[in-house]
Amino acid sequence: MSGFWFAAAALLLAIGMGILAVALLRHRDVASRIVVVDTLAACAVAACLLTAAWTGEAAFLDVAIGFALAAFLGTIAWAQALAAQKEDGR
């Protein structure tokens, strides 16, 4: 893969993360923020994978897998906490 495609992918990833940062600041609903943070985590995993492809280091793949697992479990935990909060009527 040429340097142009890596630069294009990195630019698109940076633009997406910028848009998500603005969305995180604009949304006041907790559920919407959870979705935005989960999407930011997916972008972070994509950045790890892009870095692994760029450098050829397999360690970045391990980081991406670990981060994806942690982000998934965090999203599940926040969703359950939000559901419990709604059941309590708060």
CB distance 33 to 24 below 8 Å:
yes
Helical residues (DSSP H) of 27-58, grouped into ranges: 30-55
Residue in 42, 47, 41, 36 with CA at minimum distance from that of residue 11: 47
Torsion sign (Cα): 69, 6, 39, 44: positive
CB distance 49 to 61 below 8 Å:
yes
Where do the domains of the chain lie?
3-88
pLDDT of residue 74: 94
Give percent of the chain above pLDDT 70.
98
Using CA atoms, how far apart are residues 36 and 30, in angstroms rounded to an integer? 10
Which tens digits make up the pLDDT trace of 4-36?
999 999 999 999 999 999 999 999 998 899 999
pLDDT of residue 2: 81
Q: What is the pTM of this model?
A: 0.86
Which tens digits make up the pLDDT trace of 50-76?
999 999 999 999 999 999 999 999 999
